């Protein structure tokens, strides 16, 4: 069992993040001040040289003081922890409030947390009821004394954690264990990292789980909500045909943006608009605070080739929702089909209370994206019609606890021998 998080550790990690944020904002203000004070661009910004030197000295002092204060606070907190000892966070705070807060921070700036070795950065691992699993046969046998040969792995969405599968008293995994006798394992990961980075790490963890499971693992189901479905597909794309991949029977996605999410395209547009004038260009840096995981959601980057060598903040086009219908501008990318030999299912939520010809999104993900449908044939995922479902009057988070969603998942979890492979 790993050491529980403590108040002192959280305070030190938060201090580090605040210092990083303050330093970053200082650089933005310095750039704006320099641009404005340098004079009109049409005259060649005549004061740019002197202003740059003066601002460099002034704002350099501010950054130095900020880092010094941060180092002092960190040292003081370290001393307090050494003298008083770290008091464990209460179970309720750890499981609900702290988990939700840390997961959200990781979703927004998780790549920065990892790059700066911030203790708030989440390390990918399998967990049960919020506690890490040790991937050895003996440890798993103790955690699952009645281990089933059928395992369901839950993969949470962006800015969320595995404990948030429980919503309004319902938990899809626990209900499946009760109704189908499966064993349930939850993935906990830093959703701010590239989806393909998490996919590769997930593949490695699944291999370890498969090798250490107490009984022969003959049936594996990946159940992903939102970004979790993309991480699951990414793992499938890089997995070897042996091991866990050979036992994979089902892939179920709930509100997964298979073709991207409009909200990130809006962020990309805002960033471009901020950068359109010399006076607001510095503010575009603030729009670039969003993590690699968030920018991957623009076009659902699944593999390294989708983002390597590319400027992830470059403007890639966006179709406003009030214009005639049609797909978003096509990104030049390698299509990633659904895994072969696997029964794949897609559930979408729609805020429209009744079926319509043009169902609304679930508030975050359009229905077509959640169902893998695209006007470009090479990009369409072709979920079989009987394996697609739209829940009306269901929002994005409602997919986690709406009884109709669980009923559909339960029906899709038919015995392995009854699955019809496409």
**pLDDT per residue over 267-280, tens digit each?**
444 444 444 444 44
Please answer whether residues 365 and 398 qualify as being in contact, where contact means their C-beta atoms are separated by less than 8 angstroms. no
DSSP one-letter code for 215: S
Whether the predicted pLDDT of 130 surpasses 50: yes
What is the pLDDT, as a whole number, of residue 277?
45
What is the pLDDT, as a whole number, of residue 150?
96
Backbone angles phi, psi at 85, to 5 degrees: 85, 150
Q: What distance in Å separates the CA atoms of residue 144 and residue 136, rounded to the nearest whole number?
A: 12
Q: How many CB atoms lie within 10 A of CB 396?
A: 22
Total number of residues shown for the chain? 422
Residue 112 half-sphere exposure toward CB, CA atoms < 13 A: 19
Q: What distance in Å separates the CA atoms of residue 356 and residue 47, rounded to the nearest whole number?
A: 61
Token digits of residue 344? 């794949």
What is the pLDDT, as a whole number, of residue 178?
97
416 alpha-carbon distance from chain centroid: 30
Q: Is residue 99 helix, strand or coil?
A: helix
Q: What is the mean pLDDT of residues 12-27?
A: 50
In CATH, the number for domain 101-422 is 3.40.50.1820
Q: What distance in Å separates the CA atoms of residue 154 and residue 171, rounded to the nearest whole number?
A: 11
Q: What distance in Å separates the CA atoms of residue 403 and residue 408, rounded to the nearest whole number?
A: 9
Residue with more model confidence, 221 or 13: 221
Q: Where do the H-state alpha helices sit in 144-261?
A: 172-180, 195-212, 227-238, 244-247
Residue with more model confidence, 353 or 409: 409
pTM, whole model, 2 decimals?
A: 0.75
What pLDDT, in 10s, does the model give residues 61-112? 444 543 443 444 344 434 434 443 444 444 555 556 678 778 887 887 888 8
Q: What percent of the chain has pLDDT over 70?
A: 63
What pLDDT, in 10s, does the model give residues 21-37? 444 444 544 444 444 44
Whether the predicted pLDDT of 356 surpasses 80: no
Q: What residues contact 124, with CB distance under 8 A and at least 6 apart? A: 187, 188, 189, 190, 198, 201, 202, 205
């Amino acid at each position: 069992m790993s050491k529980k998080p403590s108040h002192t550790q959280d305070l030190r990690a938060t201090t580090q993040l605040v210092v990083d944020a303050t330093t970053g904002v200082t650089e933005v203000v310095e750039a704006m001040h320099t641009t404005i004070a340098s004079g009109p661009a049409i005259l060649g910004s005549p004061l740019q040289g002197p202003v740059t030197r003066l601002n460099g000295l002034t704002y350099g002092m501010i950054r130095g003081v900020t880092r010094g204060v941060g180092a002092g606070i960190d040292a003081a907190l370290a001393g307090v922890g050494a003298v008083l000892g770290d008091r464990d966070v209460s179970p309720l705070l750890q499981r609900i409030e702290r988990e939700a807060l840390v997961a959200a921070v990781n979703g927004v700036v998780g790549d920065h947390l990892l790059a700066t070795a911030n203790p708030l950065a989440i390390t990918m691992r399998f967990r049960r009821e919020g506690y890490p699993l040790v991937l050895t046969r003996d440890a798993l046998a103790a955690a699952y004394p009645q281990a089933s040969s059928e395992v369901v792995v839950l993969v949470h969405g962006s800015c969320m954690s595995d404990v948030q599968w429980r919503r309004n008293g319902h938990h899809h995994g626990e209900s499946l264990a009760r109704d189908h006798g499966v064993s349930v394992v939850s993935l906990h990961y830093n959703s701010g990292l590239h989806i393909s980075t998490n996919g590769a790490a997930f593949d490695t963890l699944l291999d370890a789980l498969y090798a250490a499971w107490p009984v022969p693992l003959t049936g594996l189901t990946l159940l992903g909500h939102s970004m979790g479905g993309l991480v699951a597909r990414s793992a499938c794309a890089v997995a070897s045909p042996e091991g866990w991949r050979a036992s994979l029977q089902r892939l179920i996605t709930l509100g997964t943006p298979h073709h991207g999410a409009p909200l990130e395209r809006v962020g990309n547009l805002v960033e471009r608009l901020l950068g359109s004038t010399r006076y607001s260009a510095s503010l575009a840096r603030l729009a670039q605070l969003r993590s690699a995981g968030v920018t991957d959601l623009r076009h659902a980057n699944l593999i390294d080739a989708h983002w390597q060598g590319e400027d992830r903040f470059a403007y890639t086009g966006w179709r406003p929702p009030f214009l005639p219908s049609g797909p978003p501008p096509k990104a030049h990318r390698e299509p990633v089909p659904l895994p072969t030999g696997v029964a794949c299912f897609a559930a979408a939520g729609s805020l429209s209370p009744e079926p319509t010809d043009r169902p609304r999104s679930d508030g975050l993900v359009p229905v077509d994206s959640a169902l893998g449908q695209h006007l470009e044939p090479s990009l369409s995922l072709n979920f079989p019609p009987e394996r697609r479902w739209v829940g009306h009057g269901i929002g994005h988070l409602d997919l986690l606890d709406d009884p109709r969603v669980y009923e559909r998942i339960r029906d899709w979890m038919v015995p392995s021998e009854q699955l019809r492979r496409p």
